[in-house]
Amino acid sequence: MKRILWILVFICIIDSMGFGMMIPLIYSYGKQFGLTKASLGWLTATFSIVQFFATPLLGSLSDRVGRKWLLVGCLIGTAISFSLFGLAGSLLMLFIARALDGLTGGDISVAQAIVTDISSEQNRAKYFGILGSAFGIGSVIGPGVGGLLSSLGMAVPFFVAAALSLTGALLSMIFLKETNSAAKKRVKKKSFAFKSLITVLKQPVIGAAVCTGFLLTTAQLVMLIGFQTFCTDALKLTPTQVGIFYAGFGVTGILTQLAVPFITRLIPRRSIILLISTVICVGAMVFTGFVNAVIPFAIGIGIYGLFNGLRNPMLNAIIADESKTTEQGEIMGINQSYTSLGQATGPIIAGLALGITQSAAFFLAAILMLIAVGVGIRLKVQEAAAK
């Protein structure tokens, strides 16, 4: 089982690295096809909107047909989308490529379902922390590699990203074993119904966890938009300096996720860990909103990055613990859907906040996290009742 985990880790690193390579280049690459700042927002949102509807379908499908080959299919779809992006000759092709990536973007939820299959309640948070670190490592490395490869041609990073996704698909085919026992036994399961996107929110523990994840993801995206604009307009940092700063933020989250086993031994209740970390993140965002110099800004962002790194491992472990064996892929897919919705919503409302003042995004992020604390208290009560 541990071998499966480390195969997943390697696949997640190269997959997230491929995605990270294209993020800093989308705007400059797309400008030649008429991409504007306004249409950039829609291009970014296209992936998240399509993924919102696709991931629960893919997750449910993995419960019925198995995880392995669905993961392979998702990685191949991602490779095709990167290739289309590199071959694009028009703005429409860029949108089609991002929509295809969203349509086959269930690799995260399928990987999470595999971790759920191979882990126990005792080591689940640890395994999710390791998986989160893998995504973080790829996301930190990717932008730098993409910048270097762009010197060979603006389309080169997209083709390399496609090759990385194909490598992940090949590794999955060769080394990954099917982990879904229900699929192996051909256990019949009903097809996914989109009303589950609503009904899951009514489930004790799971509904509160999904809502908390949505709010915290939205807050993070609001913070990231504020981070980019504040670094450029207020701190007058160069793009290279902003990239280094962003990489440092990513590293803080990786370090925290690697420390999950120690933290869960110290505080066994995951809902309490989530509450404590979120309250600290609220304080960090309020502090960041009042500063106007590099060092205090770095301190505020660093504290936020450290404690925000506990979000996904705790939430994913809570959701996995409360999900039925035959529905784990579907529930993970629905959770990823709301994550995608938060990723689409965050930049939009951040833009509105920035129209008020440069620091408004940080205060808005703090408000969203404060609401998440309220939902997290409900989650803690429901989790205690379920035990």
**What confidence tens digit (pLDDT) does each residue in 201-216 have?**
888 889 999 999 999 9
The full DSSP string for 58-120 is: HHHHHHHH-SHHHHHHHHHHHHHHHHHHHH--SHHHHHHHHHHHHHT--HHHHHHHHHHHH--
Confirm if 315 and 171 have CB atoms less than 8 A apart. no
Q: Please give the angle made by the CA atoms of 21, 159 and 138, to the nearest 5 degrees.
A: 30
Task: Read off the tokens for 310.
Answer: 């506990």
Would the pLDDT of 289 be above 90? yes
Query: In sequence order, what are the residues at sequence separation of 6 or more whose Cβ sits closer than 8 angstroms to the Cβ of residue 269?
Result: 380, 383
- pTM for the model: 0.78
| Cβ neighbours around 228 below 10 Å, total | 16
Amino acid at 136: G
**How far is residue 139's CA from residue 165's CA, in Å, rounded to a whole number?**
14
Torsion of CA 367, 285, 221, 334, to 10 degrees: -60
Average pLDDT over residues 285-301: 93
Query: In sequence order, what are the residues at sequence separation of 6 or more whose Cβ sits closer than 8 angstroms to the Cβ of residue 287?
Result: 296, 299, 300, 303
Residue 42 has what pLDDT? 79
User: What single DSSP character describes residue 235?
Assistant: S
Higher pLDDT, 344 or 325: 344
Residue 43 has what pLDDT? 82
**How far is residue 339's CA from residue 109's CA, in Å, rounded to a whole number?**
11
**How far is residue 7's CA from residue 15's CA, in Å, rounded to a whole number?**
12
> Could you report how far apart the first and last alpha carbons of the chain are, in Å?
27
Amino acid at 7: I
Phi, psi values for residue 218, rounded to 5°: -60, -45
Range among 13-17, 32-36, 48-52, 164-168 with highest mean pLDDT value: 164-168
Q: What is the Rg, in whole angstroms, of the alpha carbon atoms belonging to the chain?
A: 20
- pLDDT tens, position by position, 327-368: 777 788 888 888 888 888 887 888 788 788 888 889 999 999
Higher pLDDT, 386 or 291: 291
**How far is residue 72's CA from residue 86's CA, in Å, rounded to a whole number?**
21
- pLDDT tens, position by position, 66-80: 888 889 999 999 999
Confirm if 383 and 258 have CB atoms less than 8 A apart. no
Give how far Cα 328 sits from Cα of 56, 78, 117, 378, Å: 10, 23, 8, 22
Compute the half-sphere exposure of residue 195: CA atoms within 13 Å on the CB side of its CA.
1
Coil, strand or helix at 153: coil
Confirm if 330 and 59 have CB atoms less than 8 A apart. yes
Average pLDDT over residues 55-74: 84
Go through 89-100 and write b for each residue having 16 or more CB atoms within 10 A of its CB, e for each that does not. Answer: eebeebbbbbbb
**pLDDT tier at 184 (50, 70, 90 boundaries)?**
low
- pLDDT tens, position by position, 130-158: 887 888 788 778 877 887 788 888 888 89
- pLDDT tens, position by position, 76-132: 999 999 999 999 889 999 999 989 988 887 677 788 888 888 888 778 878 888 887
Look-up of token digits 């999904």: 210
